[in-house]
Amino acid sequence: MDSRRLLRTSATALAAAGLILSGCTGGNDAAAGPSSERKPAASSASPVSEAALRGYYTQKLAWSDCGVPGFECATLRAPLDYAKPDEAEIALAVSRVRATGPGKRLGSLLVNPGGPGGSAVGYLQGYAGIGYPAPIRARYDMVAVDPRGVARSEPVECLTGPQMDAFTQVDQTPDDDGETAALTASLKGFATGCAQRSAKILPHVSTVEAARDMDLLRAVLGDRKLTYVGASYGTFLGATYAELFPSRVGRLVLDGAMDPSLPAEDLNRDQTAGFETAFRSFAADCVEKAGCPLGTKSVAEATDNLRDFFRRVDARPLPTGESRALTESLATTGVIAAMYDEGAWPTLREALTRAIGGQGAGLLALADSYYEREADGTYANLMAANAAVNCLDLPSAFTGPAEVEKAVSSFEKASPVFGESLAWASLNCAYWPSPATGRPHRITAKGAAPIVVVGTTRDPATPYKWARSLASQLSSGTLLTYEGDGHTAYGRGSDCIDTAINTYLLEGTAPEEGKRCS
């Protein structure tokens, strides 16, 4: 399992398993061009030639029916390398659904569900474009662009379906030198596959480049300022945009925030603690129910029983009714997948009951949803794009197995359940063929309009302290807190959260600092 900063909304993470459904932007004004673009601090990204980009900023989108009722699709041209915009370009998939009215159109609302590697177009067409509050859809054209290297936008490709099956089953809690060698060989094989199949795009899928692409789209859509809702990793994308183009920030909602100031090891350890917090919340709920597969006495008992279950599966994988067995790594992934949304807890209880009884199909289905594996054995490019972006954005958490072994105890302190596995998963960028271009740094976006940062107190994937940190870094950041479970908060059942964000998007009024909802 490779979970290093795999950050998606709960809707994106679990929809495949059927677990859930659950100042004004002057849209008619002439769009601003590239003249105020900034180079982000602590980034090695090359400066951009403004004159060379003008053709990209003035392009016209050719919208057409894309086969999904109510939605239009188009292709946005962008330079492959912003430092050399005349040499090569890439094609980015864009989709929108027009504002339905009544009321004056406010412009475009760009959405991103996170990942990195999650399809924004798929998220728009499958959820946001039909599931966002009606007043928002009435006043905004809902728009999404698949970031470069993702889904429909010249996707990064690394392994075949059978190779991905093998990769996801590799033991990530190595017990001896042989298992350690097998794990490192799998990571090297993944990186080699990416280099062989995606050499052209691999060095050019950073978050900085994706943020620059968003500014192209903003201009081409005719909006002077960007209105944006980014969830999970999408908060880092949005914050990076604000750092690059503070004067073009309209209304930005960053839900389930990341902390851009942290190095990869700290991010991974914090996320490990986040999944532990979420598991303990699940366990507290489970032990109160008759027939809880992890026991009915205490959270401590449930923790011990899950660790024992993982050890047994490590020694003897479970049958699943198909050719793939449930390994410890797949079982761990299945449990983690259900941590994203408390609506998945009943499914996890059932899956654990069956697995402890000797049948692993339920946990395998959860793991497959997490990896976006289809029934025919093919995979979306989520995991490939996730690694490609992450490994450009930050230097690797660890450079080799010896460093992981030293860090395991700190990860296990953060999570007795998931610590060892997630420590080893943090090795995934050590063998990456393209050197990192980003560095951890604080993002202040001085001069930007008010930005709303949303944090959930028991968020598994983006711990609450990250939201507090990002809100304090941003010169115009306002923290909105949801006291609850699950990953992200907007559109997940809290009227208080939804009202605060809707008011901000429709009227431009940010919630008062320190506002808390439950």
**Among 3, 487, 494, 498, the one annotated catalytic:** 487
Residue 231: closest CA among 465, 486, 458, 511: 486
Residue 404: closest CA among 435, 433, 425: 425
The DSSP bridge pattern shows strands 140-145 and 89-97 to be antiparallel
Three-state DSSP at 465 gives helix
Task: Count other Cβ atoms within 10 Å, centred on residue 328.
Answer: 23
Longest CA–CA separation in the chain, Å: 68
User: In which element (H, E) is residue 77 found?
Assistant: strand 72-79
CA distances from residue 160 to 178, 183, 364, 463 in whole angstroms, order as listed: 25, 18, 19, 33
Return d(Cα 499, Cα 502) in angstroms, integer.
5
Burial class of 236 by CB neighbour count within 10 A (0 to 12, 13 to 18, 19+): buried
Burial class of 35 by CB neighbour count within 10 A (0 to 12, 13 to 18, 19+): exposed
CA distances from residue 348 to 51, 285, 342, 476 in whole angstroms, order as listed: 54, 12, 10, 40
Indicate left, alpha or beta for 176 from its phi (over 0: left) and psi (-120 to 50: alpha). Answer: beta
459 is catalytic: yes
Return d(Cα 205, Cα 185) in angstroms, integer.
24
**Among 10, 232, 281, 434, the one annotated catalytic:** 232
Return d(Cα 235, Cα 256) in angstroms, integer.
7
E-state strands within 335-415: none
Structure token digits, residue 81: 């390398």
198 is catalytic: no
Structure token digits, residue 397: 């958490």
**Among 259, 314, 393, 459, the one annotated catalytic:** 459
The residues annotated with a catalytic role in the active site are 232, 459, 487
